[in-house]
Each structure stands twice: as structure tokens, then as C-alpha cells.
Structure 1
Amino acid sequence: MLPWPGADGAPAFLAPDAAGRLTQLADEVEAAQLGTATEVLRYARALITEPGVTARELQFAALRLAECLTDALRIAESRGARLADGGAR
């Protein structure tokens, strides 16, 4: 499963015999998504302890956290599926 959704929002899959550049791109996107999630979480944690934070700021942080969680769950599902398949990509 690729770390981005298909055109209809459903999971997108890489053909079993496909390898090379698309596989490398998927790995790079996963790493970027997890890195972004780490940064967003750090900023959100700082924001919620900030005195005077507005509802709009919290809403923005919540939206970004939801996006990152969606990406992280897609990555976890993909990696879990690969483990169940014996690590095959």
C-alpha cells in the first residue's frame, strides 16, 4: 500500500512486480510524513500550554494533527500488511 490515497480517497497499492523508483518514492514520502508528524506534534504540545491560545489556533493545530494521524495510520497499516506477508513489498 502506498503512503498516499488513490484518486477516490481509497488506499492505493503498488503492483507486486513493480519496484524501483516508485518504491523508493513511497519510502521517501513515508519518511517525510513521519517527520512532519513529529514536528506538528511538537508545535501542538507547545501551543496547548501557551496562555491565551485562541480557539482558532487550537482548531488549526487539531486539523494538522488529524492529517498527520491519518498519514501515520496509513503507514502503520501498510507496514503491518508487509509484515504479515513476510516482509514482501
Structure 2
Amino acid sequence: MTTPNELRLLPWSGPGDKPCYLSTDDPDGYMSRLADSIEASQLGTASELLEEVSEALDDKDTSLDEMRCLVNELTGALRDVFRIATSRGHLRATSDPRESAY
């Protein structure tokens, strides 16, 4: 098992929106691969939303309700991307002590 400072922040929340962590010494295990797959999906969704928002901003006929919906979806995607960045930054810092100095 990994030490507590090497826990992986998973790309989903637990009850009460609390963070979920994975402790494993197998980066190719089922849960690690599942987390990788979900992260890839979340990043893809964020990319698609960015494109959609850009188009909506360029379209003068986009309604306020449509923009609110897009902003709501983009907020969720940004939350997911932030969680992924936090997790990957933590994993990177714990995998090579020299990188934490940067």
C-alpha cells in the first residue's frame, strides 16, 4: 500500500461532497484505471464545453437562459479539471522529490 502522503485524489466525490482517495501500490490496478478513464472523460467534456461556450459568446442570439446553463455546466467542468490538476500535481510532487522544489 502507499503511504498516506501518496494517496491519489480520485476524480469523484463521496457523500457530502467529500474527497475520495485511493491507496494502492498498483498504478495499473482496476481503480487506478477507472480513475484514469473518468479523468479522461472529464477533460474531454471540459474541452467540448469550452468550444460550446466560445460559440455561444460569438452568437449574439444566444439567450440569457442558454448562457446560464452553459455557465453552470462549465462551472462543474472547471471543478472536475481543478480536482484532476490537484491530484496530478500531488502525485507528481510525491513521485520525485526534486520536482516539489519547482
**TM-score under structure 1 normalisation?**
0.91
RMSD across aligned C-alpha pairs, in angstroms? 1.3
Give the aligned partner of residue 84 of structure 1. 93
- C-alpha distance in 2, partners of 1:52/1:16? 50
Q: Which runs of 5+ in 1 are unaligned?
A: none
Runs of 4+ deviating beyond 3 Å = 16-19
Give the aligned partner of residue 14 of structure 2. 6
Where do 1:1-89 residues align within 5 Å? 1-17=9-25, 20-86=29-95
How much does 1:15 deviate? 1.6
Q: How many residues align?
A: 87
- C-alpha distance in 1, partners of 2:14/2:23? 14
Percent identity, aligned pairs only, is 36
**TM-score under structure 2 normalisation?**
0.80
Greater per-residue helix proportion: 2
Q: Which runs of 5+ in 2 are unaligned?
A: 1-8, 97-102
SS for the counterpart of 1:8 is helix
- C-alpha distance in 2, partners of 1:82/1:8? 24
Deviations, residues 41-78 of structure 1 (Å, cap 9, x unaligned): 10111011112211100000100110100000000000
Greater per-residue strand proportion: 2
